[in-house]
Structure 1
Amino acid sequence: MSDEWVADGGRGSHRVKASAMTFQEMTDMVQVLDEKDYDCKLASYTRPNTRKHKIMEKVVRRLRRRYSVERSKDQLRKRWSDLKHREVAQLHKIRKLIKKNKKRERAEEEQQQAEAEDAAGQGEHGSQEPAAEIKVECEESSYPTVDIPVIKMEEIPVCLQEISSTVQIAPETTTNNVTMHQLSAELRQCISELEYMRQRIPEIQSRIGVVLQTLEKM
């Protein structure tokens, strides 16, 4: 690379030899010049020289901010010209790296957006009111409730044994016997249904436990 010079900027201003640009600096410069269409390849612009001057000023500020180096616009123009005409392989390598970096940044942004959406969805579920206590309401019975004993679930087996040992079916001889037979059959049917419900209790309790655990995790 040929010698490059920048102004010192002091009262006794004189030209000093500029330090060579690092690969990172050239990468940033190429990225800005390509994005801003510095060579006016994508369109025709009014006052192109003024536009190029502003783009180079942006590159100078970017390099100063990122690498704490002072580059003149003339030095950057010469470096850009050398890359395009004398160091084509270097320019191709830089552009390939820029494309790879953009692809990685795009993937990271998509991942962050997906994580934010998941967090928002979980927040909506978490902000919902806690699940109300599950209650099972039965329809009102059409049978009279006077003097009917209350049977607890844990007492069902005992009640079944006592009822089955005392209930007898009367022969169907008179109208009263027929009524007694029907009531006895109805009672045995109720006992059978209670026994079925007693057998289903562990299964239902297990299902309720699974539902409650799932609600706690949401």
Structure 2
Amino acid sequence: MSALPRAPSAKNAPEREAMPDDQLMLAYAQGDAAAFDVLYARHEGGLFRFVKRLLGARLAAQADEVFQDTWVRIISARESFSPQGATWRTWAFTIAHNLAMDRLRVSGREVALDAHPDDDGDAVPTLDRGVRGAVDAAAHPSAEELAFWRAAGRRLLACLDELPAEQRAAFLLHHEDGLTVEALAASLEIGFETVRSRLRYGLQKLRGCMERYLSVLEKQA
């Protein structure tokens, strides 16, 4: 997928693997195509998962195309990338976000946001971490626990798909990719309070949608 010819480099594979994302992008811009290969391998899974979840079930068939378009944009912008702004990961996920949101706008699926409560509860992100953590081999879950978490994971994806696009994007970027509220506001070029509104209202909807599974966790606590 590299757009530049592979240039001679003194860096070997282990050295590239240890390089931060920003340095890899700068090396790629200078002609080191192998640096891009490392970047792609490092972020391929997370970026595709983000795009697919953001597009939702109804536009899932377009996930591959948006994913590829994201990398084309990244390649095209290699010479203008500056590590002085957002991190490479934030920059790349913002590109993916903008492309996915364009698809959602064209599809007419965006929904206006309503007023939101002041509660900042963390119940659903906690459940999301549990869904992913329980399937880790190191956790050694029982068959019953594994079935519960798999069912909860399917339900969480369905609940995410029911959120308005802006709320779903804020949730995924904040709780899955780890962007702070400040970083979200800067990357998406929207106000701090607007980001907080999307996160709060989205969490309220997710908690209601996941009530059955959250009640089980509360009883186990």
- TM-score band by shorter chain is under 0.3
Identify the structure with the greater helix proportion: 2
User: Normalising by structure 1, what TM-score?
Assistant: 0.22
Q: Which has the larger radius of gyration?
A: 1
Query: Taking CA–CA contacts closer than 8 Å with sequence separation of 6 or more, which of the two structures ends up with the larger relative contact order?
Result: 2
- TM-score if structure 2 supplies the norm length? 0.22
